[in-house]
Amino acid sequence: MRRTTVTVNAKSLLLIACCLSRAAADTAPLRRVMDLGAPNSTVACTWNGVQLLDDVTWAPQPAYAFMGRGEEAPGPGPIDRDILRTVRKLTVEEKVGQLAQIQVGQLVDCNGDLNETAVDYWVGKWKVGSFLETPANHGGRYNWYSPKRFAAFTDAVQRLALKRGAKIPVIWGLDSVRGANY
């Protein structure tokens, strides 16, 4: 395996760091800038004699291309057919419900516990397909800022949702502007 050392200045440091993190992007510009050599070689980035990044294995991936005029998109694969079969079985009400996302506070009782009746209401009656956020934002007696508690909460919601209606797993959305601290 060939090892290439690239010495960078302050201006090019950001460019190289960005390029290395985007291995799936178009590889030609990066190859020209860094002269990386053959695929599967390693690259070390140094600045003033100090190695800045761990050695990176150069394994370019093919880039995606847009279809041209007159080209047709490939048909659905086996997984897609399974999904299409499920969607065809849904009523209009269930399809609309799958598009809805309800704030998780609707599922927490005044003690901070999961309200199973509320899950049944939102998933059963309204066919809701997604919930947003964490119960930590809603107080209660429990410290929800724990991965274990949050996982138990989402698992319970998922288990209840899979018993009702179309039996489609719910999607969980997280709004992590300041980082996911739960």
Percent of the chain scored above 90 by pLDDT? 24
pLDDT bracket for residue 38 (50, 70, 90): low
Is residue 112 in a domain?
yes
Give the span between the Cα atoms of 100 and 68, in whole angstroms.
Answer: 35
Range of the domain at 21: 3-57
Asked if residue 72 belongs to a domain, the reply is no
Give 70-86 pLDDT, tens digit per residue: 888 777 777 788 888 89
Cβ–Cβ < 8 Å for 132, 102: yes
pLDDT recorded at residue 33: 38
Q: What is the pLDDT of residue 79?
A: 77
Asked if the model's pLDDT at residue 182 lies above 60, the reply is no
Domain contains 180: no
